[in-house]
Amino acid sequence: MSDSTQETTGRGEPEPGSATDPAARSRLGDNDAPVEEELEEEVDEIVDEGAQRLHRTWTELLVTGFFGGLEVGLGVLALIAVYEATGSHLLAGLAFGIGFLALMLAHSELFTEGFLVPVTAVAAKRASWQQLARLWGGTIVTNLLGGLVFMAIAMTAFPSLRSTTVEMGSHFVEADWSWETVTLAVLAGSTITLMTRMQHGADSETGKVAAAFAGAFLLAGLQMVHSILDSLLAFGALLVGAPFGWLDWLGWFVPTAALNMVGGLLLVTALRLLRSKVALDEEREEVEREQS
């Protein structure tokens, strides 16, 4: 019997449990597309969320990004305080999870969390590339502004943390660019984007919180190079007498942000879009039907 022969019982009926058995097909999913129902539902949710974020007004976009800078600042403050007390980057990385938790619960916007969800919405034709550029540009500026305001307050409120802040900020801005630095920046982008995907795949708030702290531990605990997080450390250092200047920070920030995008877009988002091709095709067909 050839491999393509349908599995049947002696009465010519499908073998129970085989791919042609209706009951088995029902257990596997009631759709004909070669994509699991759960994945399709998650893609639908990601597309819907991405479309909402991309269609925000300028005021909503800028305020949400500013709050994102303030809230991730909470995590940076915890990071500095725990490192000051313990000298452990790993423990400090866990403390930084407070920042990601605040971002998640407050529904604020962080630039490097804007790779998977908005891009998926654009790929599904629920928004335009111009809207994506608007989101990225507005978010990155307001994240930095909110972070600067927060660090100015934090360095005034906690003068005992100033020397540690200068040490931590200098570690990134004054580092020589090498393949190690490049790969740490790429990994930072992919780690946050994967964290975003994990949160969308979680069935409970507990799972989302666990993903936030896991991402924070890897990002800050392993001292990956992250454009927004490490900029806040640099801002704190610059405000209290860093050995580097604002132009030094800018020269570090631009390539770091670009490498974060490479990690988030190429290592995670592009592969996820390929994995969800059928579901995205269905989304695009639905958009075309709505527009016709």
Rounded distance, CA 263 to CA 286, Å?
Answer: 31
The answer to whether position 9 is within a domain reads: no
Output the pLDDT for position 30.
52
The answer to whether position 124 is within a domain reads: yes
The answer to whether position 2 is within a domain reads: no
pLDDT-above-90 percentage for the chain: 76
Mean pLDDT of 183-187: 98
Mean pLDDT of 87-98: 98
Distances 58 to 63, 64, 138 between C-alpha atoms, Å: 8, 10, 8
Confidence band for 94, pLDDT divided at 50, 70 and 90: very high
The answer to whether position 130 is within a domain reads: yes
Confidence band for 31, pLDDT divided at 50, 70 and 90: low
The answer to whether position 23 is within a domain reads: no
Q: What's the pLDDT tens digit per position in 64-74?
A: 999 999 999 99
72-86, 132-146, 197-211, 250-264: least confident range: 197-211
Write out the residue range of the structural domain in which residue 259 sits.
37-286
pTM: 0.85
The answer to whether position 31 is within a domain reads: no
Distances 130 to 44, 109, 136, 143 between C-alpha atoms, Å: 22, 18, 10, 20
Output the pLDDT for position 36.
64
The answer to whether position 8 is within a domain reads: no
Output the pLDDT for position 42.
81
The answer to whether position 28 is within a domain reads: no
Number of domains in the chain: 1
Output the pLDDT for position 77.
98
Domain of 196: which CATH number?
1.20.1080.10
Q: What is the CA radius of gyration of the chain?
A: 23
Confidence band for 279, pLDDT divided at 50, 70 and 90: confident
Output the pLDDT for position 27.
46
C-alpha closest to that of 248 among 178, 175, 147, 167: 175
Q: How many residues does the chain have?
A: 292
